[in-house]
Amino acid sequence: MEHTRMSLHKASLFITSFLLLAIFLVACGSAASNSGTSTTTRAPYRPSSSGGNTNSQASTANNQPGAAKSNSANSQSDAGSAQGGPQYLIKTLNVTMQVKDTRKVASDIQTWIGATDPRSSSAGGEYTQVADNFYNVSLTFSVQASMYTQVYNHLRDYNLQGATGGKLVAFKETVQDVSNDYVDTQSRIKNYKVEQSRLLELLSHAQSVGDIVTVDQKLSEVEGNIENAEAHLKLLSSQVTYYTVVVSLQPIIPGVVTQPATTPGWTASSVFSDAFAASLHFGQAILTFLIWLLAFCIYIVPIAIITWLVRRYRSRIASVLQPLKATISASPPPPQS
């Protein structure tokens, strides 16, 4: 009986402890959930504060329309300057015309271009006779870019004047945009000069001989890059400042009729001349072969001598071994015991 009572007491204590533990755990979970809820409820407040800052900034901008318009205008002007920057072009014009008197037309064109563009220059001329008093003429000019349009229009409409009695055969303009190369070369020169100044400063403060030699080598390399870049920029500047114009003049030759090719008949003299020419070619071929053979004798003769000696040595060996082989084959076999 006493034992049963003790068991019931222990059971009640166990159940009471279990209930207290459960209540404690529930209370802790509730506190944690409340803290999490409070945290989550406070979190949306932060964006609202930033949103308030944004609104205040927007209102500030709205309160200063002049500044906003000024910033917008500046950005648009910067974009426009970036898109509409200076354009550097290299143009080449090739004109081909057929005229009655090429030399007269060439003189007229030279005179007109010289009068229209005093700074133009002739880059070369060529006269080739194709018939009696008829010449193909090729002229090359270098004209200013500002005068190029006038030269372009004049040459395009030159034969429409009616005085030349000719026609325009070909008219081709080639344009190459070198803006990127031009700007890039300018930037490289600027960067090289900055590096040159920095190296000169380092050279003035260098103490050891090794540092002086290293800086001096680098300085020489940078100065060489500056010279190359400046030469390239100078070439580009001349090409975008002066454009090349090439004028080709072809004569109109009246009454020129192409004669049909005629096949000559058989004659003994032609056959004899052909046979003699063939025999001459054959003799030349044989003589050429002998000359080549003589030139290669320094290689052929030693090889031939070595081959002859080897064959002679083999024949001697064979003549010596032949009687021995005959003796061996003729001797009786040893008796068997």
Tens-place pLDDT, residues 72-97: 333 343 433 345 578 899 999 999 99
Structure confidence by residue, pLDDT tens digits, 116-172? 999 988 888 889 888 888 889 999 999 999 999 999 999 988 876 655 667 888 999
Buried b (16+ CB within 10 A) or exposed e, 102-136: beebbeebbeebeeebeebeeeeeeeeeeeeebbe
Measure Cα distances from 208 to 1, 203, 211 in Å. 108, 10, 5
User: What's the predicted TM-score (pTM) here?
Assistant: 0.47
Using DSSP bridges, classify how beta strands 89-99 and 242-251 pair: parallel, antiparallel or unpaired. parallel
pLDDT at 333: 60
Cα gap 235→1, rounded to integer Å: 122
Q: Which class in CATH covers the domain with range 89-177?
A: alpha beta
Cα gap 317→326, rounded to integer Å: 15
Domain map (residue ranges) of the chain: 89-177, 180-240
Structure confidence by residue, pLDDT tens digits, 258-282? 455 556 677 888 888 888 889 988 9
Q: Indicate the pLDDT class of residue 115, thresholds 50, 70 and 90.
A: very high
More confident residue, 35 or 325: 325
213, pLDDT greater than 70:
yes
pLDDT at 39: 40
Relative orientation angle of helices 209-241 and 179-205, to the nearest 10 degrees:
160
More confident residue, 332 or 323: 323
52, pLDDT greater than 70:
no
User: Is 211 in contact with 62 (CB distance < 8 Å)?
Assistant: no
SS (H, E, C) the chain: CHHHHHHHHHHHHHHHHHHHHHHHHHHHHHHHHHHHHHHHHHCCHHHHHHHHHHHHHHHHHHHCHHHHHHHHHHHHHHHHHHHCCCCCEEEEEEEEEEECCHHHHHHHHHHHHHHHCCCCEEEEEEEEEEECCEEEEEEEEEEEHHHHHHHHHHHHCHHHHCCCCCEEEEEEEEEEECHHHHHHHHHHHHHHHHHHHHHHHHHHHCCCHHHHHHHHHHHHHHHHHHHHHHHHHHHHHHHHHEEEEEEEEEECCCCCCCCCCCCCCCCHHHHHHHHHHHHHHHHHHHHHHHHHHHHCHHHHHHHHHHHHHHHHHHHHHHHHHHHHHHHHHHCCCCCCC
Structure confidence by residue, pLDDT tens digits, 219-253? 999 999 999 999 999 999 989 999 999 999 999 88
